[in-house]
Amino acid sequence: MQRTYEIMFIVRPDILDEDLDKLIAGLEANITSGGGSIKSMEKLGRRKLAYMVKKFNDGNYVLLTINADGSLVGEIERRLRVSEPVIKFISVRMDEEEKRVAKIKAIRATRKKLSAQPAATAPAPVEPTAAPAPATEAASA
């Protein structure tokens, strides 16, 4: 089952740009060959770290959003742990969160539509449309 994950990792600051690109390309190849797909890759640039990690005070942040299996993410984590320039990483599962946000947005959209309709037609059907709205809220809640 393909799930959405966000992997953020920090690369040591004294690495060259081309090495960083090579590292990221290697990871991406790993993902695609393992049956996953990359949704986005973002380089957040050099940032000051909140505390010292491996004697560094700042680092290069990279954010990868991928669709992959759980086992593939485990493999990626193993690679990150082993690779020398990467000093910290975190992988977070995002699909449940996205589902939840989409659901909230959908509920909000339907609620808006129900309240917009009686204003367009007539004040009479206000009550029957107000009644289903809390009912759907209660049903979905």
Partner 1 sequence: MADETSTPSAPSTSRPEGSGPGASGPGGRPPGGRPSGPGGGGRKFFRRKKVCKFCVEKIDAIHYRDVRLLQQFVAERGKIVPRRLTGVCTTHQRGLARAIKQARNIALLPFAARY
Task: Verify binding: residue 141, partner 1, rule CB under 8 A.
Answer: no
Burial class (CB in 10 A: 0-12, 13-18, 19+), 136: middle
Task: Verify binding: residue 86, partner 1, rule CB under 8 A.
Answer: no
Task: Verify binding: residue 55, partner 1, rule CB under 8 A.
Answer: no
Pick between residue 15 and residue 49 the one whose CB is nearest to partner 1: 49
Cβ of residue 127: shortest distance to partner 1, in angstroms? 26
- Give the x-and-dash track for 94-123 against partner 1 (CB under 8 A): ---x--xx--xx--x---------------
Task: Verify binding: residue 73, partner 1, rule CB under 8 A.
Answer: no
Task: Verify binding: residue 8, partner 1, rule CB under 8 A.
Answer: yes
Percent of residues in the chain assigned helix, strand, coil, to nearest 5: 50, 35, 15
Cβ of residue 32: shortest distance to partner 1, in angstroms? 24
d(C-alpha 63, C-alpha 5), whole Å: 10
d(C-alpha 1, C-alpha 16), whole Å: 36
Q: Are 2 and 66 in contact (CB under 8 A)?
A: no
Integer angstrom CA distances of residue 75 from 9, 118, 120: 15, 55, 56
User: Which parts of this chain interact with partner 1 (CB under 8 A)?
Assistant: 8, 10, 47, 49-51, 53, 59, 63, 88-90, 92, 97, 100-101, 104-105, 108
